[in-house]
Structures are given as C-alpha cells and as structure tokens.
Chains A and B, each alone.
Chain A
Amino acid sequence: MSTTASARTAADLRADDAKVTSATGSKAGAAAIWVDERTGIAKGAAYMMKKVFPDHWSFMLGEVAMYSMIICLLTGVFLSFWFVPSAGQIPYNGSYVPLQGVIMSEAYSSTLGISFDVRGGLLIRQIHHWAALMFCVAITVHMLRVFLTGAFRKPRELNWVIGSILSMLAIVEGFAGYSLPDDLLSGTGIRAAEGFIRSIPLVGSYISYLLFGGTFPGEAIIPRLYSVHVLLLPAVLIGLFTAHIVLVMVHKHTQFPGPGRTNENVVGFPLMPVYTAKAGGFFFMVFGVLALISALVTINPIWAYGPYDPSPVTAGSQPDWYMGFADGALRLLPGFLEFELFGFTWSMNVFLGAVALIPLMYTAAGVYPWIEAWVTGDKREHHLLDRPRNAPTRTAIGMAAFSFYVVLMFAAGNDIMAIRLQLSINDVTNLFRLLVFVVPVIVFWVTRRICLSLQRHDREKVLHGRESGTIVRTAEGKFFERHEDLDEFDRYKLVAFESPAPLALPSATDLNGVSSKDAKKARRRVAWSNFFFKTRVEPVTPAELAAAHHHGEHEAIPGGSGHAAIKHDKHPH
C-alpha cells in the first residue's frame, strides 16, 4: 500500500499566513519576505516574538544554567583545539619549570600547554571550569525554585522529569570533564570511579574491564571519556535542553498569583523586543560574572597537582562540588556493609553511596509530581505558582530533601573541616552520620512551622493591616498602635491561594452495607492527605475581611490624618 501526497506549492504552505502586502518598503522587510518565501518561517517567528514571559528574578535561575551551558560549549570548543586526549607518555618540555623533564601523559602535557603556553588558554580553561560549576549550581537552585513553587504540577510533569535527567547528566558530564586533564586529582577521581564500578554486584568487574579496556589505568579511559565529554553527553544535553525549552513554550511560563493574573493568561512582556533585550543582556552579565571570577580566582590548578601516577594521592582529594553528595555518602557508609555471599564480595559500603544513590535520588525527585497528584487527587492544570509558604508540607518536603543532600555534600569535606576547625575527623564523620538522619526531620518540622506562621502573619496583615509603628493617644488617654490597611494589590497577593482540606474518610461499606474493597486503599490516601493538609491556614475570605473591617479596629481616629486605614467605615471603641 502506498500513499500519495499531492504536490504543494510554497504559496499553499503560506495560504493561512497573514497577508503581507508587498509594499512594506524597508530592506529588512524585503529580506524577511525573501526568507519567508523559502522557509515559511514567518508564522512561527511571529508566534515566538509575541510569546509573553512574566517578570520575576527567580525565573532567571534557569537562564543562568542555560547561559552557563552555552559558555561551556563555546569555551570547550576552544579547549578542544589544543587538548590531546591521549594517555601516551612523553617528557614535558613546556614553560612550567617545576615539571620540566617529568614523564607525563599527553593529556596532562597538553593541559599544561593550554594553561601556560596558549595565549588566553588559562583564562578560557578557568571560565570553562567555573561555568561548569555555575551550571550545576544554577540547575540546583532552579530545581528548588520549580519544586517549591509547585511549577512541576500538571501539565509540566514531563518537563520536570526532563529537567531531573538534565541535572543528573550534568554531573556526569562534569565528572567526565574534570577527569580528562590526567593530573593527580583527576586520576585519583578515575581511580575512585573504577572502584565504584567494581562495587556493582556481580557484574562490576566486567563493566570495569569493558570501560577501561583492561585493568586500571590502561590507555583507553582518557580517549573514551573525551568522546563522552565532547560528543555523547553534550548531544544528549542539548537535545533534552531543547525539549525542555520547547515545552516551556508550549506550556507557557508559569506566574505568581497577582491581580489580573489567572490560570488562563500570562502577564508579562513579549519576547520581542523586551525579553530579547533582557535575556540577551543577561547572557552577557552571566558571561561577565564568570569571566571576572575566572580572571581573579584559580580553579583546579592542575600544574600544582602534578601528573597522575597510580601510587601517589593528595590529602583533600575531593570531587567537584556537584559530585560531593555521592562522595559524602561514601565517606559516611560504615565498613561492615561489605560481606561475602555465594562466593562473591558485596561491597554495599561503596555501592550504596557511590553508585546507587545518584539514580535513586533523581528517581525520587522525578516521581514526586505523581505522588503529590495522587495525594491531592488534583487533575487540574496549574499555571499559577504557589508561594512556598502556601504549600507548607510540600515546601517542608522540598527543604528536608535538600537538607539531606546538603548534609551529604558537606560530609564530603569532612577532612577539610577537621583540619580547618581543628576537630577530629572521626568525630566529624560520626556527627554527619547522625545529622544525615536528624537534620531532614528537623528541617521538615521547622520549615512547616515557619510556613504556617508566615501564613498566619499574612492573615493577620490582611485582616488588621500593617503595623505602622505610630502610637496614637486618644482623647480618653488610651494608647494604641495604628495599623495601616493594605492596598488592594498587596492584599490580593496575600489572599489569592488555595488551601485544600484533607480528604474525608470514605465509609468502609458501600451503599448496600457490603464492606468496600477500595476502603483500605482510600484510607491510605486519606492518611497521606491528612499528612499534607491537616494543619493548614485558610486564606481570608471576603466575608471575613468585611467583618474585620466592620468590627472597627481601634486604629481609626475621628478626624485623623486621612490614612488608608480610616478610609473604611470604622468606629472607635
């Protein structure tokens, strides 16, 4: 069976475009028409240019990540002009005196060359590395922003998953990158990674042999990591990143609640010209900040580490910060988790922290939107963000998870803490073993309490106005502090949120008195719903507001200064 497509002319393709009169006159217009006649791009471009984005500084964290990635790509191309991804051993004869004559790999020698003999090479190398660190920092805070404001809810669950994968791949890409120069630290990192791979039950040693092309270190790993670092992962990252951005376009950007902002609109400025200018300008700011940092602060002084050789190791061998949580978990796991069974060694003391933790953590993050949707039973689309305080349990979960991550990350610096703070490394490690369990619980509880009290404070502010700090004495000699009413704009922001009530327990029997099969499942869901929403603060209703105003707070003084507070119909006590 075959299909036939009727031939379409270019004119047909543009049949439903807005008619452009040829008398536009300008050269740019003529060029645009020329391009449009050959690509039919006008419709899409017009759609893009009119795309509206809301303004909030936290929406730009993702942009920081995007620009850092672009900067990494640009500087990476420059570095690849000189870097030699080879483990072949040669004597160094570049301009760094303390290493002259030392036998080292071509990878290390060429990285020294970039740092000392290529004009601007060290600056570009430092920009590349700092931008990579910034990329991962920006991804982390962007993820936090998206989580804490509930931006992952329907219809954006898939984009949250894509973002989580991007975040995980970014750290793998970073690892592949800092392992390339073959200095003492990066070689130690590869050595550790080889151990982690071997800790994978049953197949670890086979995978290690495949990856390294034999025993460690071999000559294969550097060229292989290079291919992964400059071809495979950048391609996957850019592909996923494009999908990420396209989905943002398709879903439209979320916005914080405010007057005139609904679930159906986006209030902001169009891409052309406002955001093109703002985002374009922001790119140069990000580049400027990274270039400034790179010009002033050393990162990864590979010349000081010396060439890699499997026998030495340096004190303070840590991975870059984004791998820190896995390294920290590794440092905290007790040795007794290694055992022998069925003739195999099961190195759970290594495997759990260094290998299993990374996919586990990202899976937990990735599935969260479905967990919350199951608990709330909410099938609606959400384009309005939650202020973090208005979803206390979610905010608390997010902060608890992040604190778990942070404790593990800090644990990776246990030796640096021990020496800088003059503590015993054993005590520091044991303390972290305790903290990793205790801190998330405390953070959860404290965050939820803070959110609830902020919500109560908001209620108080809406109902009774803002404390003005002005003490007034009435004619009878009474003193009170005058409260100023909020204006409608500010008030709207404090009352426009949802506070869902926990689900009610369904009856255990159906209409005919037969015990329901679904009752047990429902009970579990109700329990979770209670966990999420039992303690809650409801937004002020118009009726409450009217009642509060009518009750007549003492702040109103007859013949007062004409403040907002006394514009309402209020009577002094």
Chain B
Amino acid sequence: MNALAARRRHPAAIAILLFLGLALVGTAYSLLAPKSAQAAVSTADDVALGKQLFLANCATCHGLNAEGTKSGPTLMGVGAASVDFQMGTGRMPLAGPNVQAPRIDKVKYTEEEIAAIAAYVASLAPGPAIPEGKETTGEGGNVALGGEIYRVNCAMCHNFAGSGGALTRGKYAPSLYGVEGKYIYEAMLTGPQSMPVFNDTNLTPEAKASVIAYLKMTQSEPNVGGMNLGNLGPVSEGMFIWIFGLLLMIACAFWLGQKAA
C-alpha cells in the first residue's frame, strides 16, 4: 500500500484510475444489465390468428378495427408490405411515444406472427403486397443507373453513402447500412414515416432493384481510401485532423524541442 501511496501523485495516476473505473463500471453493467424476455412462439398463419395478434399488440394505438386513433394512423390500405416492413425491422410495435419509430434489430415477433398480422391487415383493404421477386435482392439491377436514381431521390435525406441524415424536429432518415434488400424495397413501396412513396409507376421494379444493387455494391466494396470515418463528409474529417492530426504534430514538435542541440 505504501508503494501505491507514494505514487498517488504520479502523472499517470489519474489516467489509470479513470481506466480502472471505466473497466469496473463496464464489467458490472455487462453482468447486471437486464436481459430481454423471450416472446411466445406461434405456429398458425391465418387471418384469424393475425386478428388475435393485432388486437393484443396493435389495437391500442391503431384501433380495434385498424381504423386509427389519436395515437396511431389507420391501417386501411397500407397493405401487407407495410406491416412486413414496420414489424420486420422492429419499428412496430412502438416501445414508447417518440417523433419517429427507431429500427430495432432484435425483432420480438416470429416471421409467422408478422405474416399473420400482415395477412389480417391486407384483408381489411387492398394495398401493396409483400414483394417476393428477385428485385428485392437487387439481382439484375444496373448499378450505375441505381446510383443515379439514388443520388436524385434518396441522397438528400439518407446521405451519399446511405449513412443517414437529420430531418426536422428530431426526425431522421435512418442509415441504410446492413438493411435487407426486401426492407429497402418495401420502404420505397410504402413510404414509411417521413419517407415519400415510390410506387411502381414512379420507380419501376427494375429501377428499385438497381437502387438496391447500387447500395449492396457500395456497401460491400473495400474502403479503397482507408478508414471512412463513418462516411459523414467533411465534419468527421475536420474533427479527425483537429484531434489526431494536431495532436501528432504537437507531439512531434514537443519531442523535437526536448532533443538536445
């Protein structure tokens, strides 16, 4: 203990203490953090089951007959594609009131349950069905054409690289990294939240496939320039040069200044 006490004023003491504190808190958190409970599993896949699930999980906000309430819009005519997108990406059911439903990777419903609710919602009024072509994987799409369509229609909100961007009053265009082709297709088809609808006369299925192909290509290509700093444009580059560039330069200058002549 004496050895420790003697070094309590060592320049590195604060850094070491800070590191130990952070490590301790981090470990404790990972051990004690609450784990999410397992959702119930269902097997049937029909409109009746869908209705049951709807009444239990969705009706509070969307109304007993999906007619909509003050807290949620009507689901008449949104189609199965919309349900598949919203529930498949974990956006629905909404955990709490917010400006926008966030994407949640841990989806609490099985594919069968989502399909059942989608079938129920689709049975209420006609709407876009869940797309099931090769278009949803981007297969056969023209990458260069997809890039042009993307830059004209998508980049102003989702950013040039699909890193996402801010909208007004806390709303945002989410990042497109790692989003399944099917969900990108459904988003274009149904226009969730602040996004406009790109129906099949606006963007043909081939054009949609091209956009998906472009995104897949740019996301899977190697970073030829090195680390991409989040692909956020000049802001992250400026931060990098101020923090790391300047620090390295000052370290060099300091080291050289310490050198005897």
Residues in A lying within 8 Å of B, measured CB to CB: 55-58, 60-61, 63-64, 97-102, 115-116, 122, 126, 130, 133-134, 137-138, 141, 184-185, 269, 274, 278, 281-282, 285-286, 289-290, 293-301, 303-306, 309, 311-321, 324, 412-416, 418-419, 422-427, 469
Q: Name the CB-closest residue of B to A270.
A: B261
Are the CB atoms of A137 and B241 closer together than 8 Å? yes
How far does the alpha carbon of A324 sit from the alpha carbon of B223 in the complex, in Å? 26
**Chain A positions within 8 Å of B224 at CB level:** 115-116, 122, 298, 303
**Chain B positions within 8 Å of A133 at CB level:** 237-238, 241, 245
Are the CB atoms of A64 and B249 closer together than 8 Å? yes
Are the CB atoms of A278 and B256 closer together than 8 Å? yes
Looking at the complex, which one of B99, B214, B233 makes contact with A318 (CB distance below 8 Å)? B233
**Chain B positions within 8 Å of A312 at CB level:** 151-152, 155-156
**Chain B positions within 8 Å of A61 at CB level:** 249-250, 253
Indicate whether B86 reaches chain A with its CB closer than 8 angstroms.
no
Indicate whether B246 reaches chain A with its CB closer than 8 angstroms.
yes
Are the CB atoms of A98 and B166 closer together than 8 Å? no
Looking at chain B's contact residues, is the secondary structure mostly helix, strand, loop, or mixed? helix
How far does the alpha carbon of A547 sit from the alpha carbon of B8 in the complex, in Å? 34
Chain A min CB distance to B174 (Å): 9
Chain B min CB distance to A466 (Å): 12
Are the CB atoms of A320 and B240 closer together than 8 Å? no
Looking at the complex, which one of A98, A282, A301, A309 makes contact with B256 (CB distance below 8 Å)? A282
How far does the alpha carbon of A414 sit from the alpha carbon of B169 in the complex, in Å? 12
Indicate whether B248 reaches chain A with its CB closer than 8 angstroms.
yes
Are the CB atoms of A317 and B233 closer together than 8 Å? yes
Indicate whether B29 reaches chain A with its CB closer than 8 angstroms.
no
Known: A137-B241, A415-B165, A424-B169. A316 touches B159 (CB 8 A): yes
Chain B contact-residue range equals 35 or more
Contact with A along B224-245 (1 / 0, CB 8 A): 1111110111111111111011
**Chain A positions within 8 Å of B232 at CB level:** 316, 416
Looking at the complex, which one of A55, A289, A324, A424 makes contact with B257 (CB distance below 8 Å)? A55
Are the CB atoms of A60 and B256 closer together than 8 Å? yes
**Chain B positions within 8 Å of A306 at CB level:** 147-148, 151, 155, 160
Known: A102-B147, A137-B242. A426 touches B169 (CB 8 A): yes
Q: Mind listing 15 A-B residue pairs with CB under 8 Å?
A: A57-B250, A57-B253, A98-B214, A100-B144, A285-B252, A286-B252, A294-B226, A296-B226, A301-B161, A313-B156, A315-B166, A316-B159, A316-B232, A424-B99, A425-B169
**Chain A positions within 8 Å of B160 at CB level:** 184-185, 304-306, 314-316
Most chain B C-beta atoms within 10 Å of own C-beta, residue among A316, A418, A424: A316
Chain B min CB distance to A340 (Å): 27
Given contacts A137-B245, A306-B160, A416-B236, 19 further A-B contacts (CB under 8 A): A57-B256, A63-B253, A98-B147, A99-B147, A130-B245, A133-B237, A133-B238, A289-B252, A290-B245, A297-B226, A298-B225, A299-B225, A312-B156, A316-B235, A318-B235, A412-B235, A422-B172, A424-B170, A425-B168
Known: A298-B225, A419-B164. A320 touches B155 (CB 8 A): no
Residues in B lying within 8 Å of A, measured CB to CB: 9, 99, 143-144, 147-148, 151-152, 155-161, 163-170, 172-173, 214, 217-218, 221, 223-229, 231-242, 244-246, 248-250, 252-254, 256-257, 259, 261
Q: Name the CB-closest residue of B to A135.
A: B241
Are the CB atoms of A311 and B152 closer together than 8 Å? yes
Are the CB atoms of B241 and A130 closer together than 8 Å? yes
Q: Name the CB-closest residue of A to B167.
A: A425
Chain A min CB distance to B245 (Å): 5
How far does the alpha carbon of A412 sit from the alpha carbon of B33 in the complex, in Å? 37
Are the CB atoms of A314 and B256 closer together than 8 Å? no
Q: Name the CB-closest residue of B to A428.
A: B166
How far does the alpha carbon of A360 sit from the alpha carbon of B113 in the complex, in Å? 64
Q: Name the CB-closest residue of B to A327.
A: B234
Q: Name the CB-closest residue of A to B100.
A: A422
Are the CB atoms of B151 and A318 closer together than 8 Å? no
How far does the alpha carbon of A502 sit from the alpha carbon of B248 in the complex, in Å? 42
**Chain B positions within 8 Å of A122 at CB level:** 224-225
Chain A min CB distance to B161 (Å): 5
How far does the alpha carbon of A141 sit from the alpha carbon of B157 in the complex, in Å? 35
Looking at the complex, which one of B147, B231, B238 makes contact with A321 (CB distance below 8 Å)? B238
**Chain B positions within 8 Å of A282 at CB level:** 252-253, 256
How far does the alpha carbon of A55 sit from the alpha carbon of B258 in the complex, in Å? 9
**Chain A positions within 8 Å of B240 at CB level:** 293, 297
